[in-house]
Amino acid sequence: MGEVIAAAKVKSITVYPIKSCRGISVPHAPVTPTGFRWDRQWMVVNANGRMYTQRVEPKLALVEIELPSEAFSDNWEPSSNSYMVIRAPGMDLLKVSLSKPRTVVDHVSVWQWSGSALDEGADAAEWFSKYIGKASRLVRFDSASQTRSTDPNFARGYKTMFSDQFPFLLISQESLDALNNILKEPIPIDRFRPNILVEGCKPFSEDLWKEIKIDTLTFCGVRLCSRCKIPTIDQQTTIASPEPTETLKEFRSDKILLPNKKPQGQVFMGQHLVWKDCNGGGSSKVVRLGDPVCVLHQLSSTAEAAA
C-alpha cells in the first residue's frame, strides 16, 4: 500500500459543553468514545425533563461557556475548585462545579432516548429558569449509569451523550465557502456547529469520507448531517431567516442527492463521525489544530453517503 497523502488539515476545533449553547474554540481536545471531552455533557431541560434547544429557545445561542483551559489536556481531572462558568446577556455569572453532582433526576429525555441524569442543583435551575422565562433545570449526562447508543442503522456499537445523533460532526471550510459564494449574505461556520472544521480539500469532498485518519486516530463517516432549523438562526442576534436552508435546497437536498428515494425535505451539510479505534489504538488521543486529515476509504458518490 502506497503512502496516504493528507487530503486536508484541521482548521478549528469546537466543543459545546451545554447542548444548544455557544461552543468553545480550543487548540486541542481529548477524544472519547462519546465525542470530544465535555461535548454536550450538559443539557437544559424543561419541567418534564425534556431537552431545550435553539429550535424552540433561540436565546440559548447567547449563553457563553468557559471551562478551565487545562480541562482540554489529556487525562486532566477536575478538583473541587474546578468550575464551568456560564454567562448570558442581562444575567449574573453562574458557576457550576465540574466535580459531579450527587442528585439524580429521572425521566430526562433527548429525542427518542430517556433515562436519568445528574441534576446541577437549585442555583443553576433558577438561573436558566430566569433566563429562558420558563421552568428549567441544568442536567449532566451520567455516564456511570447511562448509555445512549447511536442509531444502529448507521453506527452500531457506538454511543454519545446529549448530541443530536452522533459523537462528532466534521465540515470543510471549502464547503462553507462554496455555500457563501451563492448566498446573498455570507454566514459564519457557527451556524452549522461542527466539532471539526478542516481545510485544504474540495467543496463537499467530506461527503464521501468513509474512513479517515486525523493524525493517528481513525474515524468513520457514518451519515451526512441532515440540517434542522438551527443553521437559520443568527448565533449573535438569535434572529432566524429562511437562509441558508432555502439555498441548500437548490443543490444539497435529498431530492437532488438521493434521486432514487422518496424526498423528505432534508438538506445536508457536514459529515457525522464516530471514533473507530475508541477501544484502543492511536498513541495520542487528542486532536490538535493543524493535524493532517488522511482519507483511508471514500465512497463513489454522495448518494451513497447520504443514504
Q: Give me the percent of the chain exceeding a pLDDT of 70.
A: 95
Alpha carbon 227 to chain centroid distance? 12
Cα 28 from Cα 13, distance rounded (Å): 7
Structure confidence at residue 281 (pLDDT): 47
The pLDDT score that the predictor gives to residue 192 is 98
pLDDT band at 51; cut points 50, 70, 90: very high
pLDDT at 295 over 60: yes
CA distance 99 to 114: 23
Identify the band that residue 277 occupies on the pLDDT scale cut at 50, 70 and 90.
Answer: confident
Residue 208: the pLDDT is 95
Residue 306 confidence class, pLDDT cut points 50, 70, 90: low
Question: Looking at residue 140, what is its pLDDT?
Answer: 97
Cite the residue boundaries of each domain of the chain with CATH code 2.40.33: 6-15+151-306
Contact 38, 15 (CB under 8 A): yes
pLDDT of residue 263: 87
Q: 119-123, 221-225, 241-245, 279-283: lowest mean pLDDT where?
A: 279-283
The count of other CB atoms within 10 Å of the CB of residue 146 is: 17
User: Which pLDDT score, from 0 to 100, does residue 279 have?
Assistant: 62
Which three cell numbers, joined as nine digits, stand for 209? Answer: 469520507
Strand (E) or helix (H) holding 245? helix 245-251
Residue whose C-alpha is closest to residue 231's, from 223, 221, 241: 241
What pTM was estimated for this model as a whole?
0.95
CA distance 135 to 148: 25
| Of 85, 123, 133, the residue nearest 101 (C-alpha) | 123
pLDDT digits (tens, 9 = 90+) for 6-39: 899 999 999 999 999 999 999 999 999 999 999 9
Judged against a pLDDT cut of 60, whether residue 211 lies above it is answered with yes
pLDDT attached to residue 280: 56
CA distances from 17 to 40, 52, 260 (A): 5, 14, 38
Amino acid at 87: R
Closest by CA to 49, choosing from 116, 142, 112, is: 116
Average pLDDT in the 187-203 region?
A: 98
Q: Mean pLDDT score of the chain, rounded to an integer?
A: 94
Give residue 32's pLDDT: 94
Model confidence at 2: pLDDT above 60:
no
| pLDDT, tens only, 65-95 | 999 999 999 889 999 999 999 999 999 999 9
Least confident of 100-109, 143-152, 160-169, 246-255: 100-109
Q: Which CATH number fits domain 6-15+151-306: 3.30.1490, 2.40.33, 1.10.3470, 2.40.128?
A: 2.40.33
